[in-house]
Amino acid sequence: MDALFGEPRLGDVGELGVTVRYLTPHNKWSIHSEYQDNLFMLSLSRGGPTIWMSTQDAAKIGVHDNDWIEAVNRNGVVAARAVVSHRMPEGTVYMHHAQDRLIDVPRTETTGRRGGIHNSLTRLLIKPSHLIGGYAQLSYAFNYLGPTGNQRDEVTVIRRRANQDVEY
Write down all domains in the chain, each with its CATH number in brackets.
2-160 (2.40.40.20)
pTM recorded for the entire structure:
0.78
pLDDT band, residue 78 (cuts 50/70/90): very high
Kindly state the average pLDDT of the residues 3-12. 76
Query: What's the pLDDT at 88?
Result: 94
Kindly state the average pLDDT of the residues 89-107. 82
Query: What's the pLDDT at 48?
Result: 78
d(CA 62, CA 24): 23
Least-confidence region, from 93-97, 104-108, 136-140: 136-140
Kindly state the average pLDDT of the residues 98-102. 68
Q: Report in angstroms the alpha-carbon separations of 124 from 75, 119, 166.
A: 11, 10, 31
Number of C-beta neighbours around residue 90 at 10 A: 15
Residue 119 DSSP SS3: helix
